[in-house]
Chains A and B, each alone.
Chain A
Amino acid sequence: MEGFTVWFTGLPSSGKSTLAGLLARALRERGRTVEVLDGDEVRRELTRGLGFSREDRDENIRRIAYVAKVLTRNGVVAITAAISPYRAARERARAEIGRFVEVYVSCPVEVCMQRDVKGLYARAVRGEIPQFTGISDPYEEPLSPEVVVHSDRQSPQESLQRILSYLESAGYLQPGMALVPVPAYLAGRLRRRWGDAFQRRLVEVLAAHAEGEGEPVSPEEEQQILVRLRSLGYLD
């Protein structure tokens, strides 16, 4: 399976790490190999010594993007959760990585300040942290991110579903629990029948089938198979 990078961006305490964790878990449940590059951990392990000047922030993002690129080209899903405040740096990361999904975790700064998960806003307001994004340093909102989630009015689960839906519709993820390719001839036939709704209808049909009972054999047939498996000693 091909890798890709999900690049979370947003203000401090907007919910990037929470969503990155939820997404990682959901993707692992689908059998994907996932690595989360969380901003705090990256600054501790990969970019120790860098500060918060524009130059240092760009260098921080450049290194994260490089690691994400390496992971992505090796079939891993890389999830980054760093503020990444500057548009130009994010665009460079996009260009370098290629299979890149930008998720903007939108949240008004007042709400982030109320949350203030790490107590940093309070310190920034007191002037203890210079160049704090959202207070004393700019945050440049993405102009055309693949996904926008509003963490002030959506639950983390709703946001997660929005991200997963995008990943499925864009072909990064196969719908459902597994990769089920449709033979070319059948895809052609269904496209002719369903037109633009092909992808959506296919997902609906698959979902309905999966929800049904997943057992396409009739009860009578199932009984016949059971009797044979039992006589073969496979069951009891």
Chain B
Amino acid sequence: MARRLLIIGLDCVPPDFVFDRFDTPTLRALARRGSFGALESITPPITVPAWACLMTGRDPGALGIYGFRNRMDYSYDRLAIATSAAVREPTLWDRLGTRGLRSIVVGVPPSYPPRPLVGQMVSCFLTPSARSEYTWPPELKAELESRFGEYLFDVTDFRTEDKAALLRRIYDATAQKFAIVRHLMTTRPWDLLAFVDIAPDRLHHGFWKYWDPQHVRHEPGSPFRSCFEEYYAFLDRQIGALLDGLDPDTAVLVVSDHGAKRMDGAICVNEWLRREGYLVLRDEPRGPQRLEPAMVDWRRTAAWGEGGYYSRIFLNVRGREPEGMVEEGFYDRLRDELIAGLEALGDEQGRPIGTRVYRPEDLYPVRRGIPPDLIAVFGDLYWRSAGSVGIGSVWTRENDTGPDDANHAQHGMFVACGLPLPPGEVRGMRLLDMAALLARYFDLDPAGQEA
């Protein structure tokens, strides 16, 4: 019998929001009919690698995608954005395509530029602008714009203080995403329909402090205090409307790439490296600014870091980096030293925060491309990593790139109906298990050899 699968990707949705905290009758009914649970994300739990790993079943090392940007070589400044071209392992739709099965893919990161497939693709939030060619086949763009107006590939102006306008844009993005999906699913033949709504992630980052009394900048009594509850009810209705039009034999997977939690603060990784003497700047920065290679005295610098939600730390190795100074024989000792130092670093009062620093080989059996020398996840993900220098402290409670209330959590969620899983709550599921499960559903070769 022909099998069909609908994947509803909800970026950043933690399990408790759906299963306990908010009113989500559609998702809970789906969970009662099928299987559900927490889904352990990859390390680092971050959008682009996580979705790529979910759709290929490969870890970040095997994909060579360690973050939003990856080193192209050992120079100090050449970093490539992880676009669709960075995914060099077959995705689920690539594999189905080799069987002639048809896929509709909307907004699954990283999918800009859209890649040819058997079916249709609308690219993700990495789309540069609505002027870009963001569909496959290209003529699909005009059709979508004539029906839905300008494509909202992301929630724009995310760092604004005009929260009311931001919240409207979040709703608009979700509504349009579901409308586009409903249109495509009813006008095209398909075996797989996979889409990702990025808007929940934007909601969490933009509004967490209003509803969570434990947030360091919680504002009690804010008009936005119930915005999570209302948004999740809205999202659940959108999902309900989508499922209403679905053939009951179609399998459904609702899945997130990682979870979310409140953000307590940021560790300024480069300020710590400077304080400890690993990173030396030519001049003292005048005020907070992004670390640029030209600012660094490379001959006296052993390590530098990139910020973002987690930190990639690079060593300045002799014979590898242009002005490398770390002797190869000292490489492992230096890494051990940095791990010990960063893991021991607590908050401003020295209280332990649970930072973990990984060597890439601890996480990934195969490492393609150029992995960071260390990967730091601060404060059990209650702390983010900030790469700016000139902050004057290792810790900041203010985000260096504008208002941001949330961080990612290690566990996302899934609800599956019609997939080969035991009914009820399934514990211990990992994001990396999903691709094999979906391959099994479609009777694909588990080893991925159908090409």
Contacts and interface: CB of A to CB of B under 8 A. Distances in A.
Chain B binds chain A? yes
Contact of A231 (B90, B159, B448): B159
Interface stretch (B15-23, B126-134, B181-189): B126-134
B46 interface: yes
Contacts of A211: none
Interface in A11-54: 28, 31
A183 B116 contact: yes
B68 A229 contact: yes
Contacts of B86: 214
Nearest to A222: B81
B85 A178 contact: no
Given A181-B94, A185-B118, A236 B113 contact: no
Contacts of A222: 81, 128
Nearest to A32: B366
A217 B68 contact: no
B400 interface: yes
B90 A186 contact: no
Interface in B397-451: 399-402, 404, 447-451
Interface stretch (B34-42, B221-229, B278-286, B380-388): B380-388
A90 to B, nearest CB: 26
Contacts of A31: 62, 366, 368
B447 A1 contact: yes
Question: DSSP class of B's interface residues: helix, strand, loop or mixed?
Answer: loop
B447 A75 contact: yes
Given A179-B448, A181-B450, A216-B113, A235 B307 contact: yes
B69 interface: yes
Nearest to B67: A234
Interface stretch (B96-104, B142-150, B295-303): B96-104
B207 interface: no
A177 interface: yes
Interface in B95-128: 95, 97-100, 112-113, 116-118, 125-126, 128
B97 A233 contact: no
Interface in A118-133: none
A1 B308 contact: no
Nearest to A228: B154
Given A178-B89, A182-B451, A233 B94 contact: no
Among A1, A28, A228, A233, chain B packs the most CB atoms within 10 A around the CB of A233
A180 interface: yes
Contact of B81 (A176, A184, A217): A217
Interface string A209-236: 0000011110011101110111111111
A217 B128 contact: yes
A18 B265 CA distance: 53
A152 interface: no
Interface of B: 46-47, 62, 64, 67-69, 72, 80-81, 83, 85-86, 88-90, 94-95, 97-100, 112-113, 116-118, 125-126, 128-129, 132, 154, 157-159, 205, 290-291, 306-309, 366, 368, 384, 386-388, 399-402, 404, 447-451
Interface of A: 1-2, 28, 31, 75, 176-186, 214-217, 220-222, 224-226, 228-236
Given A2-B447, A179-B451, 10 more contacts: A31-B366, A177-B64, A180-B90, A183-B118, A215-B81, A215-B85, A216-B83, A222-B128, A233-B384, A233-B399
